[in-house]
Amino acid sequence: MYENDFSFDVKPETPAPKKGMGYGKKVMVSISLGLFFGVCGGLGFQAVTSASDLIKSGIEQAEAKLNKADSEDVVEALGQAENDGAEQPAAANVKTAGLVESTQVTTAVVTDVTEVVEEVMPAVVSVSNNYVENINFYGRELSNEGVASGSGIIVGENDTELLIVTNYHVVYETQKLEIQFVDGSTAEAQVKGTEPSMDLAVVAVKLADIGSETINSIAIATLGDSDALSVGEPAIAIGNAMGYGQSVTTGVISALDREAAYSNGESEVSNTFIQTDAAINPGNSGGALLNMKGEVVGINSNKVGGSLIEGMGYAIPISSAKPIIADLMLMQTRGKVSQEEQGYLGITGLTVGDEYAEAYNLPKGVYISQVFEGTAAEKAGLVKGDIITRFDGTEMLSMESLQKRLSFYNAGEIVEITIMRGDAMGGYEEKTLQIELGTRESIQG
C-alpha cells in the first residue's frame, strides 16, 4: 500500500453512552410502585368485602322476615337492604325471588282436630248389617247371605234404649243388626223407624244389653245447624270406613244445597246435600260430618256419587234431618213375629217408582191392584186404585217394603194407613184409615 496524503485508518463509531439512573434510584422506584399497587389492591378488596357484607346483610334480613310468611315483609326487607347501600346484583335477586315462591307454596295450615275428635268419637258407632239378598235367577228364587258395614250416630236415649241414627240403605233388608261402640264392645240392635225417601233410619239398642264400662265410654252427639254453614269452612268426617273401624278425614264444606239422585237400596230418591272434600268411603254412610265446634252438621252418605267421582263427598243436612229423627225416635221398637202370628192386609200391590210416577202422574208408593173379600183391607174401606204411602207412620215406597214392615206386626193390631185416592178432577187426595190387621187364613179362606 502506498501512503499518500489521502490515506487514513477508518475506525467504527462508538455510540455515546446514555444517561441512566443509578442502582439506588431503581430500588426506590420499585418500592414505591409496590406500595402503590398494594394500597390500591387493599382498598379494592375492602370495597368488595363491604359491598358483599351489605348484600349478605340485606338478604339475611329478607330471609328473617320471610320466615314470618308475609309477602309485605319480604318487600320491606328487600327495600331495607337497598336503603343500607347495597346494590342488589342479579344473583341476589334470583335468591330472594326463590324465597318468595317457596313461602307462597308452603304456607298451608293443617288444622289440629284432635280435641274435636276426642269429644265426638264416643258418639259414633259402627253398624254391621247381616242381610239376605233374594235373587230371581231365570224364574227361580235364590237367596244370598251377606254382611254390610256402615256407621251411626248416638242421638239420644229413653228409659230402656240407646237411640242411633244412620242411613236407611245401611239397614235395608237386615236380618240382624250389630252395633260396635268406641270401646270395641258390641250389642244387637232393632230398627225403630225409617224414612226411605230421606235415606234415614233410627235403630235402638237395649240399655240392658250394654255394659257399664261401655255406658261410661260413649256419648250423645250434639246436633248443630247446617243452615248456618258457609262454603269453605272446615269439615270433619268420622265413620267406619271400609268396615275397618272408626277413622277420621278432614276437608272443607265445598258446596251447599247440592241436588242429587241415588238409590237407597230400595228405590231411586232425590235429595239436597252438603258437599265436602273430606273423604267419604264405603262404610262411612250414616257417620257424622262435623263443624269445628264438634257439632253434627250432616249425616254422611257414600251412596251419592260412589266411586265414580273423587274429592266429592255428600251428607244429609242435619237441619233437614232433625224433625224426621225426632219422629222416628218416638216410634215403637219392634221385633219380627212368626208367620203364624203375623198380621195381613189382604191385598196385592205394585210399586209406583220414579218411572211410573213421572209417566202417569202418580204418587209414589204401593198401588193396590186387588182387594180380597172378607179381609182387613176390605173392612177398612181400601179399594183398587188406592196408593198406600205410609203404614203406621213409616213411609212406603215399594210393595216389598210394605211386606217387610208387616212382618213386625201381629194379627189383630190396629194401625194407621195413609193413602192417596183419585178424585173426580183427575188428581189425588190424601186419606187416613184405621185398619185391624187380619190373619193369613182370612186371605186364603
Give 230-241 pLDDT, tens digit per residue.
999 999 999 988
Is the predicted pLDDT of residue 83 greater than 60, yes or no?
A: no
For 269-290, give one letter per residue: b (16+ CB within 10 A) or e: bebebbbbbbbbbbbbbbbbbb
Q: How far is CA 364 from the centre of its chain?
A: 31
Q: How far is CA 190 from the centre of its chain?
A: 28
Pair 216, 227: CB distance under 8 Å = no
* Residue 328 burial class via C-beta count within 10 angstroms: exposed 0-12, middle 13-18, buried 19 and up: buried
Q: What is the pLDDT of residue 38?
A: 52
Cβ atoms < 10 Å from Cβ of 317: 21
Q: What is the pLDDT of residue 350?
A: 94
Pair 86, 55: CB distance under 8 Å = yes
Residue 147 phi, psi dihedral angles, 5° rounding:
-130, 125
Q: What is the pLDDT of residue 152?
A: 96
Active site residues: 169, 199, 285
pLDDT category at 157 given cuts 50, 70, 90 is very high
Give 29-64 pLDDT, tens digit per residue.
455 555 455 544 554 545 445 444 544 555 455 445
Is the predicted pLDDT of residue 191 greater than 90, yes or no?
A: yes
Q: What is the reported pTM?
A: 0.70
Q: What is the pLDDT of residue 366?
A: 95
Rounded-to-integer distance, Cα 114 and Cα 29, Å = 82
pLDDT category at 242 given cuts 50, 70, 90 is confident
Q: What is the pLDDT of residue 32?
A: 54
Rounded-to-integer distance, Cα 292 and Cα 281, Å = 21
Pick the closest to residue 128 from 245, 237, 12 (CA basis): 245
Cβ atoms < 10 Å from Cβ of 313: 28
Task: Give CA separation, 392 vs 46, 92, 421, in Å.
Answer: 97, 79, 18
Q: What is the pLDDT of residue 363?
A: 92
Q: What is the pLDDT of residue 156?
A: 95
pLDDT category at 410 given cuts 50, 70, 90 is very high
Rounded-to-integer distance, Cα 109 and Cα 342, Å = 59
Give 5-15 pLDDT, tens digit per residue.
333 344 444 44
Pick the closest to residue 406 from 354, 347, 357 (CA basis): 347
Q: What is the pLDDT of residue 257?
A: 93
Query: Whats the size of the chain, residue-wise?
Result: 445
Q: What is the pLDDT of residue 309?
A: 60
Q: What is the pLDDT of residue 268?
A: 73
Is the predicted pLDDT of residue 176 greater than 60, yes or no?
A: yes
Q: What is the pLDDT of residue 310?
A: 63
